[in-house]
């Protein structure tokens, strides 16, 4: 039986709070890809970016699910269950 994410109740929003990584924008830094926190709308940079703000946001808030904000990408990730998700 395939593993399933048990955190879908944390998906509250699909609306980004910003047009780029919130912390990088504030400091004038750059990012590689963007991730959207599906609990609060925070936009953070991916783990390929030097600052890894999306993961730092998860660690500080425990908001478990992010969705890629990259054009043409339609996937989400649960940090707790370590599973790729299709939220639709």
Query: For residue 23, which of 34, 38, 12, 14 has the smallest C-alpha distance?
Result: 34
CB-neighbour burial class of residue 31 (10 A; exposed 0-12, middle 13-18, buried 19+): buried
Question: Are 35 and 69 within 8 A, CB to CB?
Answer: yes
Q: Domains in the chain, start-ordered, CATH in brackets?
A: 24-85 (3.30.40.10)
> How far apart, in whole angstroms, are the C-alpha atoms of residue 36 and residue 1?
29
pLDDT in 10s for each residue of the chain, 88 residues: 357 899 988 899 889 999 999 999 999 999 999 999 999 999 999 999 999 999 999 999 999 999 999 999 999 999 999 999 987 6
CA angle 27, 50, 35 (to 5 degrees): 80
pTM for the whole structure: 0.92
């Amino acid at each position: 039986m395939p593993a399933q994410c048990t955190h879908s109740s944390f998906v509250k929003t699909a609306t980004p709070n910003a047009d780029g990584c919130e912390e990088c924008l504030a400091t004038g830094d750059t990012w590689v890809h963007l991730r959207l926190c599906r609990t609060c709308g925070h936009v953070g940079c991916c783990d390929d970016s030097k600052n890894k703000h999306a993961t730092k946001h998860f660690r500080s808030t425990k908001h478990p699910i992010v969705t890629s904000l990259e054009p043409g990408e339609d996937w989400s990730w649960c940090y707790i269950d370590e599973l790729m998700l299709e939220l639709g």
